[in-house]
Chain A
């Protein structure tokens, strides 16, 4: 696979939120505004790139039967180190804005998902690129969700008022609104894919049904 392909696939073709449906918990909780989405996205991208790199470096030393606990330990160590380093050396303003997202990464299954599905089978460099690409895809889809939700709930974008006098619509600020907006996004995405398949004269198969992208099942026999 070419370098660009590893990087770009996470942004659209295998977007973690809209296609792989990974990391739904932080997606629904933190996409209440574009600024929150950006902060969570940057923090996740850093951890994802680092943990992917670390795991692909040690992938041959870890027996496959205990790989999941090993990955969890590595990811937890990585998140804690990032948190301590940010507390110590990051400018106070940056630490204040980004610091609150770090504890949330622990519950982010994109990190473990990519470790299992990609980093444990590929070289260090492509794992790093995969991590960065997936992180960017996560950030972009989170920001799209956050932007729409923030605008609908208060008429603002990045905390700047866009439409003065927009009625406050609290539903979109809460997780219920996140489900609605996410569902609309997924519906648009699926509609687009079905139309594309129809134009090509084939039937659209959702990626989770043909198992082509996921390697978890094939590992059971090892």
Chain B
């Protein structure tokens, strides 16, 4: 009996110290983490929105309520982008869906004509080399030189993200043609983009 008590106390102590350490680190890093997430979001918005966007709508992206440029529909955040004249030229939708290793977050840029400009995956925990084939963009390089460098504002290619979504109408997609070996991850991207499209539809019907 005394032994059991001793074991409980020591395991409990380890857990307590561990929890305290986690709580402390969590508290200390909350602000820097939020700042880093915001910087990532700003970079992502620059990639999916057209280059002529005057002010990226994310200035106060975190505080959606205070910023009329950011609208939340069905948990999807819509960032509106305006040109220098103040005309809305595009919308970036931030949505997420469950993948193999956690939430897959996507940013979908939709132009004024209702076509998808670009889709990027802003954060994910998919298995590197397998699931990440459906989410990560990378440039083809060669040790023999050649290969073309990226133009300003151009994204590295991803056959799945580009082939399935770029330039298509922002309507929910029905087919689930994924990447072989990365079915869960492709389905997650598919679901997240569909959420974004539905939110965009709703946003448009509200605006009219």
Task: Mark A residues whose CB is within 8 Å of B.
Answer: 29-33, 36, 39-40, 58, 61-63, 65-66, 69-70, 73-74, 76-77, 80-81, 84-85, 87-89, 92, 95, 100-101, 103-104, 157, 159-162, 164, 170, 173-174
User: Chain A contacts of B174 at CB under 8 A?
Assistant: none
Tell me if B29 is interfacial: C-beta within 8 Å of chain A. Answer: yes
Contact present for A81 and B25 (CB under 8 Å): yes
Given contacts A36-B129, A84-B25, 6 further A-B contacts (CB under 8 A): A39-B128, A80-B22, A88-B29, A95-B36, A100-B125, A104-B127
- Interchain CB contact under 8 A, B143 and A161: yes
Closest chain-A Cβ to B141's Cβ sits at a distance in Å of: 5
B180 interface residue, CB < 8 Å from A?
yes
Residue of B nearest to A32 (CB): B129
Cα separation A4 to B6 with both chains bound (whole Å): 39
- Closest-by-CB residue of A relative to B21 is A77
For B7, give the chain A residue with the smallest CB separation: A66
* Residues of A contacting B142 in the complex (Cβ-Cβ under 8 angstroms): 160-161, 164
Cβ-based interface call for B195 (8 A): no
Q: What residues of B have a CB within 8 angstroms of the CB of A162 in the complex? A: 143
Contact of A92 (CB < 8 Å), options: B36, B125, B129, B130: B36
List 22 A–B pairs whose Cβ atoms lie within 8 Å, in order of A's numbering: A30-B127, A36-B129, A39-B128, A62-B14, A63-B7, A65-B7, A66-B7, A73-B18, A76-B18, A87-B36, A88-B29, A95-B36, A100-B124, A100-B126, A159-B138, A159-B140, A161-B140, A161-B141, A161-B142, A161-B143, A161-B147, A174-B130
Q: Name the distance in Å between A168's Cβ and chain B's nearest Cβ.
A: 12
CB distance from B142 to the nearest CB of A (A): 4
List A contacts of B14 (CB < 8 A): 58, 62, 70, 73-74
A66 to B6, alpha carbons, bound, how many Å? 10
Within 8 A of A (CB), among B13-69: 14-15, 18, 21-22, 25-26, 29, 32-33, 36-37, 39-40, 43
Contact residues in B for A74 (Cβ distance below 8 Å)? 14, 18
Tell me the complex Cα distance, A173–B132, Å.
Answer: 12
**B residues in contact (CB < 8 Å) with A:** 3, 6-7, 10-11, 14-15, 18, 21-22, 25-26, 29, 32-33, 36-37, 39-40, 43, 101-102, 124-130, 132, 138, 140-144, 147, 180-181
Query: Considering the chains assembled together, what is the distance between the CA atoms of A164 and B144 in angstroms?
Result: 9
Given the complex of chains A and B, what is the CA–CA distance between A161 and B141 in angstroms? 6
Say whether B33 contacts A87, CB under 8 Å.
yes
Among A31, A76, A174, point to the contact of B181 (Cβ < 8 A). Answer: A174
Interchain nearest-CB distance for A222 vs B (Å): 13
- Nearest residue in B to A104 (C-beta to C-beta)? B127
Question: For the complex, what is the distance from the CA of A80 to the CA of B26, rounded to whole Å?
Answer: 10
Give the nearest-CB partner of B143 in chain A: A160
The answer on a CB contact under 8 Å between B141 and A160 is yes
A92 to B26, CA, bound (A): 19
For B43, the chain A residues whose CB sits under 8 A away are 92
Chain B residues near A33 (CB, 8 Å)? Answer: 129
CA distance A159 to B147 in the complex (A): 12
Name the contact of A173 in the complex, choosing from B36, B102, B181 (C-beta under 8 A).
B181
Which residues does chain A contribute within 8 Å of B26, judged by CB atoms? 84
Which residues on the A side are within 8 Å of B29 (C-beta)?
84-85, 87-89
